[in-house]
Each structure stands twice: as structure tokens, then as C-alpha cells.
Amino acid sequence: MKVDVLLGLQWGDEGKGKIVDFLTPNYNVIARFQGGPNAGHTLEFNNIKHVLHTIPSGIFHDNTENLIGNGVVIDPIILISEIEKAKAIGTDIFKTLLISKKAHLILPTHRLLDAANENKLGKNKIGSTLKGIGPCYTDKVARKGLRVGDILSNDFIKKFNIIIESHKQQLDFLEFEYDLESSIQDWLNAIDKIRMMKIVDGEWFINHAITNNKKILAEGAQGSLLDIDYGSYPFVTSSNTISAGVCTGLGIAPNKTGNILGIFKAYCTRVGSGPFPTELFDADGENLRTEGNEFGSTTGRPRRCGWLDLVALKYSIMINGVSELYMMKTDVLDSFQKIKVATAYIIDGKRHTEMPYELSQNIEPEYVEFKAWNTDTSKFSKFSELPVELLQYIKFIEEETGVPIKIVSVGPNRNQTIISDNF
Ligand code: GDP
Ligand code: IMO
Ligand code: MG
């Protein structure tokens, strides 16, 4: 079977964790293909709320295997703590989790370098989650990184020490003060635990699964507008978050990808620095943050909130080849009287419907205004029950994007998920 891909179409936190967990019973394998513990994917079921950073969101279903692909960067300490938290609620991840040998390792010094780089940028900082993502991918591309497969070799410690020494020199150059000793020991202890896990040739595992007709879902992290090539550069993450990243991040050929499931919030959020054309600084923005509980799953930072941006959404749909849309957090708009959607950008008096090279500060969004449904949607379970104003909102987005909306999510819980008749 071909590999379906689920990814976020905005600036992350669209609700990927919830939907992957919801869809997992339809799949044999869930695979993360990029990013690392900068991700925070939230799942809620049976009154339990769980946030995953590195582990694929299929882990709470016994019959599914979960692969951390080679495109992912792994912080061993965070991975082990995730595994232990899941174990505490009765899920033994050791059985169903596989790790690709070619995935790169985040060293304690990568995190320090992240902080040092951000310090140097001052008010121009990226707003990184400071998990060491950028420095780790930098070493990967510079051909100096340490991979999971290396922990099985005899000269692992030697390689590790060489990299740590070179990072220390960089930290000194950046005039960054640090204390490393205890984190190095914790890191090495976590590596000892990872050595006991299922470390595999990820590309062979996934291609055998394809040949054996297994159903596979690739789970994206971050969002398309944070993609290193197509996002709002330089305010992006350091990986390809788009569907093309699945091929390099798992080792599958382009003709082995199947449906591309694009997920977006019924409005828009962003955490960290960088342009955000539809950002709201008024009471509507505050309401979105409060109603949507828009605080980062990884860092707890308040998320910036704004109206849905169709210029950006259409761009993400194009870059990813999205075949179906899932609209998340619809219930957050339940208490609104009116809703706006941006359909164009006015830049220097000119109207643009295509994403410009840079999202500059002088973009004036052109909005279409809708009367809102003002109804509690969180208890609905069928499309036919949805209020007419919401159905009109859905139809408008479908017509503008040319892609069907097949899921409407109306709450954080697994069962607050409404599927369309043609799902
Ligand atoms: P991810 O990074 O894409 O997995 O998303 P996050 O987990 O970072 O953020 C999404 C947040 O919204 C989490 O707290 C989810 O529990 C919550 N959530 C997901 N879907 C819905 C929904 O339809 N309605 C509401 N109110 N919350 C949702
Ligand atoms: P999930 O998978 C939202 C943002 C950071 C920062 C920029 C770079 O939960 O949707 P990095 O740590 O990668 O150097 O940060 O990207 N960012 C995210 N924003 N959701 C995420 O992941 C994010 N991962 C990174 O806030 O602006
Ligand atoms: Mg998140």
C-alpha cells in the first residue's frame, strides 16, 4: 500500500496528534519523518491528556507499529522521559516503537548552541523552542553529526567527545556560559536505554511494509509555513515539513506516497517570532487564545492568534499536493458573532492572491466576513447536525481551495471528531 501523509498546513499545532491518534486504527504503521522534540502533539482520550514530542502519535493503539524515521532528530533524554510517562499510564512502548539507525542525535551541546545563537540574535531571534533542532540539523548537513546507528559501534564515545569539544569551542566563541557535566551523564544514561530498543534500518522496514501491503501513515511535525524552504524564512524550523520531506525522511520513493491529508485550524496561530499577516491584537485575538487554550504544548508560550488565511492555506495545499482537508478547533469559534477569512493580501496598494516571496510587515489582508453559528458544536457527531452558518463556512473554504473538507474537529477529545459522508 502507498504511504498516506498527514501534515499541518499552517504554523504548527493544528491538532496533528489528535487526528493521528483518531486515524491510527486504520493503519498498521505510523511514522514520524522530520522534526524532533520541538514538536508537541497532544492526544486526549479516556480523560487522559498526553503530549508526545518524538514518539509517533499512534503509540496508544496496541496493534500499530511506530517508526521514528531517519529524518527525525532525537534527544535521548526527552525520548526516554516520553517512554516512561507513557509506561506510567500502562502503555509499554518498547514493544511497538522502532528507531531508524540513520536518525540524528541531539547532543546536550546542541541545546546550548541553540540558546547561544538566539542570544546573539537578540530582538531578531527566531523564537526557537531551544531543543537543539537547528544546531543538530546544521551538523547533519555539515556531515559532522552523530546518528543512532553510531551508538552501536565501539568508537561511539570517541566520536561523541570529538563533537562535544568542537561545540565547546563554538560556545566559547559565542561567549556563552554553560554547565555541561550533569547533562552529559544524563544523556549517556539515556543512550544506554536506547541501545536496548528496536534500532532498525528504517528505509528497509518501511519499504518491506509497503511491499507487504501494510497501511502506513506518515505523521508530520510543525507546519508547512515553518518549512525550511517554503516557510516564512528565516523564521522557520530546520527541516522540510512538507510532503516532499516524507521521501527523504523515511526513505520512500515519491510514487509510493498516497493520500495527502492536510490539517488546519478554523483560524490561525503562530508561536515564536516572524510574520503573521492575519494576526489579531484585539478582543477577537484574545478570545481565540482563551477559547482555544492557545498556549504551546512544548514551551507553554502564549500562541499568537488571528483569522484564517486562505492565501497561505492555498499555498500550503499547492506545495504539498493536499488531497483532503481536515478542519480543526472549529468549536473555538462557537461563541463568535462574526468570523473573518483573508482571501488576498494588499501590498503597496496592489492586490495579491499568491503568496509573495516575503511576508513583509506592510501586508494588509483583504477579508470576507461571515455571520457565525453561535452554537455549541462540541456535542455534535454528524455533518448533518452542523449549523447552517458553519456548513456555509466549510463550503466557502472548499470552493476557494478546491479540496474537500472530510473531517471537522469540535473538541480535543478523540471522539469529538466529525467525519463527512464521503470519508
Ligand atoms: P499538534 O502539534 O498539531 O499535534 O497540536 P498541539 O497538540 O500542539 O495543539 C493542539 C491543541 O488543541 C491541543 O491542546 C489539543 O488537545 C487541542 N485540540 C485539538 N483539536 C481540537 C479541537 O477540535 N477543539 C479544541 N477545542 N481543541 C482541540
Ligand atoms: P508541532 O509539531 C508550533 C516554531 C518555534 C519557532 C520556530 C523554530 O507541535 O506543530 P525550532 O525549535 O524548530 O528551532 O523553532 O518554529 N516551532 C513550532 N511551532 N508547533 C511546532 O511543532 C513547532 N516546532 C517549532 O516556535 O518559531
Ligand atoms: Mg504542537
Please give the average per-residue pLDDT across 183-192, as a whole number. 97
Please give the average per-residue pLDDT across 191-199, as a whole number. 97
Please give the Cα distance from 319 to 321 (Å, whole number). 6
- Residue 254 — pLDDT band, cuts 50, 70, 90? very high
Is any atom of ligand 2 closer than 6 Å to the C-beta of 127?
yes
| Ligand 1 atom having least distance to the Cα of 39 | 2
Q: What digits encode the pLDDT tens for the residues 2-45?
A: 999 999 999 999 999 999 999 999 999 999 999 999 999 999 99
Residue of 10, 14, 18 to mutate, ligand 1, most atoms within 8 A of C-beta:
18
Per-residue pLDDT, 388: 97
Per-residue pLDDT, 192: 98
The amino acid that residue 166 corresponds to is S
Please give the Cα distance from 346 to 344 (Å, whole number). 7
- What grid cell was written down for 163? 563533537
Q: What is the DSSP letter of 8?
A: E
Please give the average per-residue pLDDT across 368-387, as a whole number. 96
Per-residue pLDDT, 422: 81
Please give the average per-residue pLDDT across 110-132, as a whole number. 96
Ligand 1 center to residue 88 CA distance, Å? 23
SS3 353: coil
Which residue(s) pair with 74 in the sheet? 105
Please give the average per-residue pLDDT across 271-275, as a whole number. 94
- Residue 202 — pLDDT band, cuts 50, 70, 90? very high
Per-residue pLDDT, 128: 96
Please report, for residues 95, 280, 333, 374, 411, the alpha-carbon distance to residue 285 in angstroms, rounded to integers and kept in the order given. 44, 5, 11, 17, 19
The overall average pLDDT reported for the chain is: 96
SS3 60: coil
Show the 3-state SS of 9-42.
Answer: CCCCCCCHHHHHHHHHHHCCEEEECCECCCCCEE
* Residue 334 annotated in active site: no
Please give the average per-residue pLDDT across 372-401, as a whole number. 96
Please give the average per-residue pLDDT across 224-235, as a whole number. 97
Please give the Cα distance from 152 to 143 (Å, whole number). 19
- Residue 136 — pLDDT band, cuts 50, 70, 90? very high
Matching residue, cell 499545532: 13
Q: What is the pTM of this model?
A: 0.97
Please give the average per-residue pLDDT across 159-187, as a whole number. 95
Q: Is the pLDDT of residue 285 over 80?
A: yes
- Residue 326 — pLDDT band, cuts 50, 70, 90? very high
Is any atom of ligand 2 closer than 6 Å to the C-beta of 324?
no
Which residue(s) pair with 339 in the sheet? 370
Per-residue pLDDT, 119: 95
Per-residue pLDDT, 283: 97
Please give the Cα distance from 235 to 391 (Å, whole number). 34
Of 11, 82, 74, 21, residue with least CA distance to 52: 82
Ligand 1 center to residue 18 CA distance, Å? 7
Please give the average per-residue pLDDT across 345-359, as a whole number. 95
* Residue 41 annotated in active site: yes
Is any atom of ligand 1 closer than 6 Å to the C-beta of 223?
no
Q: Is the pLDDT of residue 313 over 90?
A: yes
Ligand 1 center to residue 292 CA distance, Å? 8
Please give the Cα distance from 1 to 15 (Å, whole number). 25
Please give the Cα distance from 268 to 308 (Å, whole number). 5
Please give the Cα distance from 378 to 413 (Å, whole number). 10
Q: Is the pLDDT of residue 249 over 80?
A: yes
Per-residue pLDDT, 92: 86
Q: Is the pLDDT of residue 361 over 80?
A: no
Please give the Cα distance from 26 to 200 (Å, whole number). 24
Per-residue pLDDT, 300: 87
Per-residue pLDDT, 95: 84
